[in-house]
Every structure is written in C-alpha cells, then in structure tokens.
Amino acid sequence: MTRLGGIFNDQKKYLILSGVVTLSVNLIIYQSVLNAGFWSDDYHMIAPAARLTWWDFLTYYIDPRVQWIWYRPVQGIQVGILYMLFGNVSFGYHLAQLLLHCANTLLLLELVTHVSRRWRIGLVAALIYGTWSILSLAVYWPTVADPLLAFFCLSALRLWIHYLETEHTLAAVFAYVTLFAGLGTKENGVVVPILFFLADRWIVGKPVSPVQLFKRYSPFVFVFLIYAALEFDVVLHSAYTRDSGYGIGSHIVPVLVQYLGLLAFPWDVQSPLVYLWLVAVLGILVYVALTHRWRILFVAACALLTLAPVMLFRSVLPRYLYLPAMASAVLFALLIEWGRGMLERFVKSAPAVRIASVLIILGMIWSGGATIAEGGQNYTGFVRQVNLKLQPVFQRHTSFAPGTLLYFVDPPFAQINVAGAMAFRYGANVTVDGRDGRQRVGLGNYKAAFVYYEDEQEHLQEIAANPTASVRTSPDLPVQFGTEISLDGFELTNSTLTRGEAVAFILYWRAIKKIDEDYTVFVHLVDAEGNLIASVDSQPKRGSVPTSTWAPGALIVDAIVLPIDVTLPASENLRVRIGLYLPSTGERLAILNARGEPIGDSVVLERFASAP
C-alpha cells in the first residue's frame, strides 16, 4: 500500500496514468471506423498522389497559383506521405486520423494540467472532449483537416507558453514552426498569434515593457502579411467560396448563435433550454471578466477566436467545432471541479461527493462513447453503400487503356470525388467528366469514351461511345431559340441504334440574355413519317439547372440519355428532334433565322439507323 500511495501522490505519474486512460478510451470508442473506407473529399484529396509524380504532386499542393478552393499545402503533404505509406488502403488513413485525435486529447490533458496545476481538471477535460459525439465526423473522415490543425495549434501554444516561462529561444523557434504548419493546414490557424499574446498576458503574466512586447509580437504581423497574400487569390476568388457564400454578411449572427449553443452544450440536443443555458454561460463569463479571472477568460477567448473563421460559412457544421470545443471541454472540467469543491463544503460526507462526481463524469463518457461507437458503425455502412454505386464500373473494367474518358451523366456523388475514385482505381489512364462540367466534352478526342447514367432502378449503366459517330443537322448549328437561348452544338455516343441500349446526347446551350421562364428540353426519336418512337422531356441537367438560373453567355452542358426500346423497328431513316417548350402551356420555342423570322421549332438530327 505504501508503494501504491507513493505512485498516486506523484503528480507526474498521475499525468501518465491519465494519459493511458484517455488514450485507451479513444482507441476503444473509435475502433469501429478503422475499416470504413473512403468517400467524398477523400477521393479528390488523395487522387493527385495516385496520378502525379512526387514533384508534380508537391507543385499541385504548394503552388498557390494552382489552388482552387483553399491554400493548405501542409494537409496536402500529409496526404502524400500517407499515400506513400498506405497507397489506396483506407485503414492506414483512418488509423492516422484516430492517432491524431488521440494526440490532441493528450496534448489537451498536458496543457490544462500544466496551466491549472491540477491533473484532475486536465483528465476530465480530455475525457469529455474525446467523447463528444458532435465532433466525431472529424475523426471518422480521414481527410478532414481539423485534427491536424488542432495538433499544430495546441503544440504551438504549449511551446509558446514554455518559451514565455523559460525564455528558451529554441522553444520560440519550434512555436513558429508549428504555427506555420497550422497556417498551411487550415485557415483557422490565423488566430493563433492572438492566443500567444493572450497567453502571455493572462496565463504567464510576467512583467514586460511595451517595447519588449512590440519586439516579441511584431514578427507575427510579417507572418500574417505573407499568409494573407498567399490566401487572398485562393480563398476570396475561388469558385467554391463564391458559390457557398463564404464571407461577411447577415448570416453571421444566426450562425454564431447556433455555434455558441453547441459550444455551451455540445451534445447536439435540439431544445430551447440549450439557449437558456447559453445565456447562463455568457452571464458567468461576464462575471469572470469583471472579476479579472484571466485564465478562465483565456479559455473562453480560445473558443471564440478559433470559431471566428467558420462563422463566415452560411451553414452550421458541428465538425468545424473540433478546435473551439477544446475550450468548452476545459470550461466544463472547471465547472465540475468547482461544483465538487462547493458541495464538499456543505456536505459532511466528502467521499460521497467525490463518488457522485466520478459517476457523473463516467456517465458522460459512457453516453458519448456509445454514441460515437454506434455512429462509427453507421458511418462505415453508409460509406460502403455509397461506394457500391461505382461497383458496376469496377466489375466491368479491371483496367482502361490510356486516353480513356469516363463521362457521368448521373454521378453517384460529387463529380470531383468520382474523378478521385477513378484515379485511385485506374491511375492516370482515365479522364473523368460529367454533369458538373462547364466545358465541351470532346468524345472524339479520346481513344475510348464511356458514358454512365442511372436507369429507373438507379443502377449505373454504361454506353460505349463511337468516336466516329456523326449525323447531319437541320438547320445548321448554332441556332437561336426565341430571343433568349442558343443551341451552339452537340455530341452523341452513337448514330447506329441498338435495341435495348440507350444513346446519349451532350447538348451545348447558351443564354443570350436573362431568361425569365423555365423551359423543358425535349429529345424525340421519330421515324420517316414523324411517328414518335422514343422520347425524353426534362429541364436541363435533369432539373438541376433550370433555364431561369442561366447566366447570360455561360455555356450549359446538358447530357441527355435517350432509352431505346427492344421493339425498335429496323430502319435507316430515323431522326431525332431537339427543342424547348414552356411546360405550363406546351408551346414550343421557335427557331429564328438571322432576320428574326421563325423557321421551325426543333433541330433535326439525321440520319440514325437501327440494326435489323
């Protein structure tokens, strides 16, 4: 007993035991997701490593001129290293993400213990944080940048505090290095220098002159200017941030309120009581500020500052709270410790109070852990189900010849991620295009081309394109429908039709001016007498891009699949008619000649033949 007492009275050994407990809990509750596989952004993040040389891969992620969403070179380098280690085996990526999460909980444990001088507060904060299910998607999803960002931000903050306490120059150097790594991982890292300054004044608090403060923090201004120059063109002018509405606007207030509600009560409970609790928390923080309890105020500032960049999004995603929620975990740990101390003053049985507090903490951990474990199983099943949609391609083709195009009329998920999945499987041999594309496809420019679409049962079907397929048009393209729309051109997969096999048309529309109505596109197969044999009537891009949303001058690439029935009669004189009409009245939009005179209501493609 004496020896055990010596162990448990030793602060450092308490810290080690706390670390073992924290690590074990996280490994147990997240192990169900290790074999989940890839999905969504995983594919387009990792695919460049599969199809590019190492030098081209580094250029792809490091050169800001070629970035089109964010500037995150460190995250790209991480992905490249993981690809070198694990290739396209998802287990390694999931394991790396889980280990990062474990490292973050351990860093949080050590940092809180060091600052508070109480290992219990550090342990409770780490356990609560590690088992909050609202953050679990950031761990399930192996290419989410938040865990790597948190690792660099926590490391940088811990190193900076060490520098402030000891004035060891090497600690400051390492703090700068990890700060740079955080900036290169995700944009939230830009607030870390502010946290450095607040830690200097509110945590360490050593006397220092204004001149010394200026010398200490002015280099961060230089760092920020360089970073801002790199990010400006990438973030503020990227198609993604423009389309998503990322920026300052009226949406910030409701988004902020929702995020603060989640930080105040991070169990994703939909109840007005959450906002009452938020008001109570804000009241407590006002009291903390008025009474100059700087260390608690520092924790709250960490939450608000790291939250600031994500408030610019128009939607609320709980996984974005991965870093800010660390501060919430610390505040909950402090609240539990304060409540335990207060009860011990008024309750005669102190051991009963301690047992009750332990049971409360264990209940929180068990509840969160069970939710995370179940969520991991659901995530794994979901990812596998999504990936099954591409199985028809993989089963039919073990490989593709170099210079092959795969065109997805109905991509099972975002086209950019389908492209990544194909690169994973077939390397640089394939080019992927589809419904999200905004450029002419050029089926005949490839050695082979395949068009994929979903049938009525939502099964992926394949059409092999004939690069020599051609038909005559009447009138010649481009043609003008009314005063608003131009059909600039088209491509087709085959001019010889086969019974039971579909044919695909890729139409190139353009808005001449702003369109007020939503027109329906028709593609009709008719025989020599004009009898209808097969037809498709649909708004452009299967209803996803109505004509009223077209920007004047923009090219609209609209792929239409025309099913061919098994009863198709043998003929060498079939025609396809293409046009537009107003669905409310059925009135077709007339084709106008150069003098503005109507010359018909459809473009005729001829001649198609069907096999005898």
Q: What is the pLDDT of residues 507-538, one digit of tens each?
A: 999 999 999 999 999 999 999 888 999 999 99
Strands 404-408 and 430-434: parallel
The predicted pLDDT at position 243 comes to 62
Strands 448-454 and 404-408: parallel
The predicted pLDDT at position 227 comes to 84
The predicted pLDDT at position 314 comes to 82
> Is the pLDDT score of 199 beyond 70?
yes
Confidence of residue 280 (pLDDT cuts 50, 70, 90): confident
**For the chain, what is the domain count?**
3
- Which tens digit of pLDDT belongs to each residue from 425-452? 888 889 999 887 888 999 999 999 999 9
The predicted pLDDT at position 303 comes to 93
* SS3 state of residue 266: coil
CATH number at residue 584: 2.70.50.60
Please tell me whether residues 297 and 438 are part of one structural domain.
no
List Cβ neighbours of 288 (8 Å cut-off, separation of 6 or more).
Answer: 296, 297, 300
The predicted pLDDT at position 341 comes to 79
Domain interval for residue 149: 2-383
Mean pLDDT of the region 552-560? 94
Please tell me whether residues 106 and 174 are part of one structural domain.
yes
Domain boundary among 355, 383, 411: 383
Please tell me whether residues 403 and 319 are part of one structural domain.
no
Contact of 607 with 575, CB cutoff 8 Å = yes
Q: How far, in Å, CA of 78 to CA of 415, rounded?
A: 23
The predicted pLDDT at position 146 comes to 96
CA atoms within 13 A on the CB side of 95: 8
Kindly state the tokens that stand for 248: 């300052």
Q: Please, is 132 exposed, middle or buried when counting C-beta atoms within 10 Å of its C-beta (0-12, 13-18, 19+)? A: buried
Please tell me whether residues 585 and 497 are part of one structural domain.
yes
The predicted pLDDT at position 6 comes to 41
Strands 520-526 and 555-562: unpaired
Q: How far, in Å, CA of 195 to CA of 206, rounded?
A: 16
Closest by Cα among 201, 247, 185, 191 to 223: 191
Please tell me whether residues 287 and 354 are part of one structural domain.
yes
pTM: 0.84
Q: How far, in Å, CA of 34 to CA of 86, rounded?
A: 13
Closest by Cα among 606, 587, 590 to 598: 590
The predicted pLDDT at position 7 comes to 38
The predicted pLDDT at position 10 comes to 60
Domain boundary among 330, 353, 383: 383
The predicted pLDDT at position 228 comes to 81
The predicted pLDDT at position 267 comes to 80
In terms of pLDDT, which residue wins out, 381 or 314? 381
Q: How far, in Å, CA of 520 to CA of 537, rounded?
A: 6
Q: How far, in Å, CA of 50 to CA of 79, rounded?
A: 11
Of the listed ranges 44-48, 142-146, 517-521, the least confidently predicted one is 44-48
- Which tens digit of pLDDT belongs to each residue from 69-110? 788 899 999 999 999 999 989 999 999 999 999 999 999 999
Please tell me whether residues 335 and 426 are part of one structural domain.
no
The predicted pLDDT at position 587 comes to 93
Triad 358, 360, 363: Cα angle to 5°: 110
Confidence of residue 239 (pLDDT cuts 50, 70, 90): low
Strands 472-474 and 603-610: antiparallel
The H-or-E segment that residue 485 falls in is strand 485-492
In terms of pLDDT, which residue wins out, 244 or 552? 552
Please tell me whether residues 325 and 456 are part of one structural domain.
no
> Is the pLDDT score of 9 beyond 60?
no
List Cβ neighbours of 140 (8 Å cut-off, separation of 6 or more).
Answer: 30, 33, 36, 94, 375, 376, 379
Closest by Cα among 473, 177, 163, 121 to 330: 121
Confidence of residue 281 (pLDDT cuts 50, 70, 90): confident
Please tell me whether residues 371 and 507 are part of one structural domain.
no
Any domain includes 92: yes
The predicted pLDDT at position 287 comes to 86
Please tell me whether residues 185 and 282 are part of one structural domain.
yes
Confidence of residue 337 (pLDDT cuts 50, 70, 90): confident
The predicted pLDDT at position 8 comes to 41
Triad 540, 546, 549: Cα angle to 5°: 130
Mean pLDDT of the region 405-421? 89
Please tell me whether residues 147 and 263 are part of one structural domain.
yes
Most confident residue range from 413-417, 419-423, 492-496:
492-496
Domain boundary among 441, 464, 487: 464
The predicted pLDDT at position 5 comes to 41
Tell me which amino acid residue 423 is: A
Q: Please, is 442 exposed, middle or buried when counting C-beta atoms within 10 Å of its C-beta (0-12, 13-18, 19+)? A: middle
Kindly state the tokens that stand for 457: 């049962």
CA atoms within 13 A on the CB side of 217: 18
Tell me which amino acid residue 508 is: Y
In terms of pLDDT, which residue wins out, 582 or 268? 582
The predicted pLDDT at position 244 comes to 63
Closest by Cα among 580, 465, 441 to 524: 580
Any domain includes 285: yes
Mean pLDDT of the region 535-559? 92
In terms of pLDDT, which residue wins out, 579 or 386? 579
Mean of all residue pLDDT scores within the chain: 89
Q: How far, in Å, CA of 213 to CA of 200, rounded?
A: 9
Any domain includes 49: yes
Any domain includes 416: yes
What percentage of the chain exceeds 90 in pLDDT? 58
Any domain includes 391: no
Q: Where are the alpha helices (DSSP H) in 199-251?
A: 210-236, 239-244
In terms of pLDDT, which residue wins out, 343 or 585? 585
Please tell me whether residues 215 and 75 are part of one structural domain.
yes
> Is the pLDDT score of 126 beyond 80?
yes
> Is the pLDDT score of 237 beyond 70?
no
Confidence of residue 241 (pLDDT cuts 50, 70, 90): low
Any domain includes 272: yes
Of the listed ranges 4-18, 123-137, 551-565, 598-612, the least confidently predicted one is 4-18
Q: What is the side-by-side order of every strand in the sheet holding 430-434?
A: 430-434, 404-408, 448-454, 460-464
How far is the CA of 576 from the CAs of 9, 471, 513, 592, 609, in angstroms? Answer: 86, 10, 27, 19, 11
Contact of 406 with 426, CB cutoff 8 Å = no
Please tell me whether residues 460 and 476 are part of one structural domain.
no
Mean pLDDT of the region 142-148? 95
What percentage of the chain exceeds 70 in pLDDT? 95
Any domain includes 364: yes
In terms of pLDDT, which residue wins out, 453 or 272? 453
The predicted pLDDT at position 580 comes to 97
The predicted pLDDT at position 1 comes to 34
Any domain includes 478: yes
Confidence of residue 202 (pLDDT cuts 50, 70, 90): very high
Closest by Cα among 433, 479, 436 to 600: 479
